[in-house]
Structure 1
Amino acid sequence: MEEIKSKLGKGGLVLAAMGILSAVLSIFNYNLRLLAWIDIWGNAIGWIIRILLILGGGALFFFYGSYNDE
């Protein structure tokens, strides 16, 4: 069970980092290749998806990232 929670925390950190990096790069009209689909639905929806990535990833990291049963 610890291993699953640890992986969820790391995955959340990756999601949040990708969301932040995508937000910063979109200011300069660039995007991560993996997240290029975000702007298909328009600029506003793209920003909503980026914010959800940051918040969702941050929540996963907050709840599962610092799991220590020692």
Structure 2
Amino acid sequence: MEHIKSKLGKAGLVVAALGIMSIVLSIFNYNVRILAWIDSWGSTVGWALRILFVLLGGALFIFFGRTEEEA
């Protein structure tokens, strides 16, 4: 079970990092290739999805990122 929690924490970190990278790159009219579909629904929905990725990824990392030995 601890192995699954660790994987969820790492996945959350990756999702949050992709969201942050997408926010920074969108300022310069670039995007992460895997998230290129984000702006297909419009700019407002694209920004909402980016923020959602950062929040959900951060939450996953906070809740599942640390093992019991580290806490």
**TM-score over 0.5 for the pair:** yes
Q: 2:8 is aligned with what amino acid?
A: L
Equivalent residue, structure 1, for 2:13: 13
Q: 2:6 is aligned with what amino acid?
A: S
Root-mean-square deviation (CA, aligned residues, Å) is: 1.0
What's the offset of the Cα at 1:67? 2.1
Q: 2:44 is aligned with what amino acid?
A: A
In structure 1, runs of 5+ residues without a counterpart are none
TM-score, length-scaled by structure 1: 0.96
Equivalent residue, structure 1, for 2:63: 63
How many residue pairs were aligned? 70
What's the offset of the Cα at 1:3? 0.3
What's the offset of the Cα at 1:69? 4.2
Q: Alignment identity in percent?
A: 67
Distance of 2:15 and 2:53 partners within structure 1: 6
**For 1:9-50, what per-residue CA distance to the aligned partner results, in whole angstroms no more than 9, with x for missing partners?**
000000000000000000000001100000000000000000
Equivalent residue, structure 2, for 1:32: 32
Distance of 1:68 and 1:54 partners within structure 2: 24
